[in-house]
Structure 1
């Protein structure tokens, strides 16, 4: 009886938390490691010609079957024309698996971003990006358990679950667009900022239901992003970043800062260490550590739950790990370019 009560209590707090997060998309605490998910116009806003990133998230392990989410993205930045303009091409693959019924979604989203130079003297760019592709969702019907399968206190595995599913999977076309402004601050090329706005789900996908209900659709989402990087000493710098998003009845604010220390060459470092913390409003405090042996970086974070869920989760939140491979090409590179989008 005690175990049943504990389970029901955990489910109640999980549902309560879900109500507060209604209509929210896939998200990561290390949002700075998933730029394409934030805004396609942030593609290519980095120091380098190529960037590959992988982020893995494991959430709510102490409450229910863990929610597991992964992102794999790639960006390739190339000069175009004769006016210090650039174009970034790439894409992102997202995978999310939730709950005991293995409810999963897979997103395959190519991206293109055009960077227009606005200054003849310093890095200053206005970028317009688009990302669109296919999303597929499915579940394991054999793992669905409902009250219709209970006869009093006995569970009958072979009985009909009472759900009139028309399909175990469906797919739809989805897209997003955005703009960003990226600029050098002052005379130091290492001091940079960006501000961006994105509009997700402009295709307004409908009929996204296992019951083939055309009235159910994906709510559009607006994401407002900003970041600034400032040198504190010759061998260190501070980075401030944040996102605010709204979708349907839900909204989310996440922001924070980190300090990065160069461990070898000040002008062209290979080894760096970074530490900081981020805050998701009314949800979690997120310490982050990142180690770099360029061109490879590894980041680790953990959500410390401060929402209404701790009574069920024992303050345990989500673990995330990120891997980044970022480098310049040997030829036709932006490394020595006078002007180039970077952060």
Structure 2
């Protein structure tokens, strides 16, 4: 019965994503998917090149697949007064394998001084949305006593289209002022039509706002240096159509170790999850700023779905950044790039 219950929950999730206004997935380790969070964060790091990848496996106890991946690479290019980047997103949801593949390029332009950096970013990409209609189960395939019979064929009329392509732009702005950072971004600015059936089904614009403060716990701390220990309270707010979500929490950072605790709401402020995260920064060569980042987090579901039914959600991430040989950019940003907050 538990397996059957999980199957139908996953089926409902899949069917709901077809008929209702779609919602984007979010990452608990939002700081390890910077281009997904806000295009103005492109090139905002201490180095010349940065690569990130994050994988999210949501509600692992359900039989329907809910998995997401983001991979990005961006460059800090002073001659462009900002950065350029490229990212790939893939999501697979539900028993019908509703899949989205997105490829997007981004550019950011920055102005600033010794105390602040203000960045503006734009992003443009294309998304392909596809579904396997053969994986759906309809009422005429379910026996009142025996349940689902995989050998039956449904008489339901299915849409002739199973693939959809659309243009997908985004824009954002981010400010770093000494130990404070705040940003806002808008995704799906054109609210593209995702419908397979011909009836209009617009993807609502997603608005993301984020704010963080870096509080030094070391008395001898000197502004602009990344040594010592810090507390970093942060909040991230998402709004898309009639749905909203907010993550609030705090991280403790000491050199290459970062541990965080978060509380996330969903819907009208109801509970969604408690998140625990741990990040390791491995410095293999301080002279050229080379750094390997490994991250792991787990969401303990606190909504009505509860943790027993879902087994929560797990994310794993990896990041890499460095300066090119003989780079002129080394340490010129004085710790004002967003990556130094996390």
Question: Given the two structures, how large is their TM-score scaled by the length of structure 1?
Answer: 0.83
Unaligned 5+ runs, structure 1: 185-191, 263-271
Q: Deviations over 1:196-248 (max 9, x none)?
A: 11121111212x112122x2111112111111223212521222222112111
Check 1:335–1:240 CA distance in 2 against 1; reply closer, same or farther (3 A cut): farther
Matches for 1:212-251 after TM superposition, within 5 Å: 212-213=198-199, 215-233=200-218, 234=221, 235-251=228-244
1:108 aligns with 2:71: no
Check 1:312–1:288 CA distance in 2 against 1; reply closer, same or farther (3 A cut): closer
Check 1:9–1:26 CA distance in 2 against 1; reply closer, same or farther (3 A cut): closer
Matches for 1:1-343 after TM superposition, within 5 Å: 2=1, 6-7=5-6, 10=9, 23-80=22-79, 86-117=81-112, 119=113, 122-150=114-142, 155=149, 157=151, 159-184=153-178, 192-206=179-193, 208-213=194-199, 215-233=200-218, 234=221, 235-262=228-255, 272-281=256-265, 282-294=271-283, 295-310=291-306, 313=309, 316-337=311-332, 341-343=336-338
Tell me how far apart the structure 2 counterparts of residues 256 and 139 of structure 1 sit (CA, whole Å).
Answer: 36
Tell me the secondary structure at the aligned position of residue 48 of structure 1: coil
Q: Deviations over 1:251-281 (max 9, x none)?
A: 010121111122xxxxxxxxx1111111112
- Residues matched between the structures, number: 313
Tell me the secondary structure at the aligned position of residue 80 of structure 1: helix
Check 1:116–1:12 CA distance in 2 against 1; reply closer, same or farther (3 A cut): same
1:96 Cα deviation from its structure 2 partner: 0.5
Unaligned 5+ runs, structure 2: 222-227, 266-270, 284-290
Check 1:161–1:109 CA distance in 2 against 1; reply closer, same or farther (3 A cut): farther
8 Å contact from structure 1 (residues 334, 340) kept in 2: no
Check 1:341–1:163 CA distance in 2 against 1; reply closer, same or farther (3 A cut): farther
Question: Given the two structures, how large is their TM-score scaled by the length of structure 2?
Answer: 0.83
Q: Deviations over 1:100-139 (max 9, x none)?
A: 221110110110000112x3xx141211100110001112
1:42 Cα deviation from its structure 2 partner: 1.8
Check 1:94–1:23 CA distance in 2 against 1; reply closer, same or farther (3 A cut): same
Question: Over the residues paired in the alignment, what is the CA RMSD in angstroms?
Answer: 2.7
Tell me how far apart the structure 2 counterparts of residues 134 and 14 of structure 1 sit (CA, whole Å).
Answer: 24
Tell me how far apart the structure 2 counterparts of residues 88 and 173 of structure 1 sit (CA, whole Å).
Answer: 22
8 Å contact from structure 1 (residues 123, 340) kept in 2: no
Check 1:183–1:219 CA distance in 2 against 1; reply closer, same or farther (3 A cut): same
Tell me how far apart the structure 2 counterparts of residues 39 and 161 of structure 1 sit (CA, whole Å).
Answer: 45
1:92 Cα deviation from its structure 2 partner: 1.1
